[in-house]
Structure 1
Amino acid sequence: MPLVEISIVAGRSPEKIRALIHQVHAAVRDSLDAPDEAIRVLVREIPPAHWAAGDITKAEQEASRER
């Protein structure tokens, strides 16, 4: 049973996340010949204050852009 885990910064619309799930599911199905019912896709939304690169959180990046 294929399991795909995706972590993204929170803030995208439910429609965008649904489209991501659909496209990832299709890619796994097509590349592995896995049956639809066996494929699992998990999307974790991480708050911007909990996601950092270079010791700067996404929340801090967004705040600096607003100034």
Structure 2
Amino acid sequence: MPFVTINMLAGRDRSMVQECLREVAKTTSQTLDVPLTSVRVVVNEVDPELWTVGTTLKSEERASAPAQQSI
């Protein structure tokens, strides 16, 4: 039984994360040639204040990033 774990920063749209779960499950089933019902996929959402790249917290990185313009 394949078990896939995805770790990501919290804050994405819930429906987007759910679609990711479904697509990962389907792809895992197809590429490993196992029944879809045997595939388990879990997402761990981590608060940006609890995730670092080096010594920079992701929450600090987001706060200092310039605002993106809408097209």
Same fold by TM-score greater than 0.5: yes
Q: d(CA) in 1 for partners of 2:51 and 2:20?
A: 20
1:23 equivalent in structure 2: 23
How big is each residue's C-alpha offset from its partner over 1:6-62, in whole Å with a ceiling of 9 and x where there is no partner? 100000011110111011111101101111111000100000001110210110111
Aligned residues: CA RMSD: 1.1
Equivalent residues, number: 66
Q: Say if 2:30 is the partner of 1:33.
A: no
C-alpha separation between the residues in 2 aligned to 1:36 and 1:30? Answer: 8
Unpaired runs of 5+ residues, structure 1, are none
Runs (4+) of structure 1 exceeding 4 A deviation are none
TM-score normalised by length of structure 1: 0.91
Aligned to 2:69: none
Residue equivalent to 1:11:
11
Structure 2 CA distance for aligned equivalents of residues 59 and 11 of structure 1? 11
Q: Given the two structures, how large is their TM-score scaled by the length of structure 2?
A: 0.86
Identity of aligned residues (%): 33
In structure 1, C-alpha distance between the alignment counterparts of 2:21 and 2:34, rounded to whole Å: 15
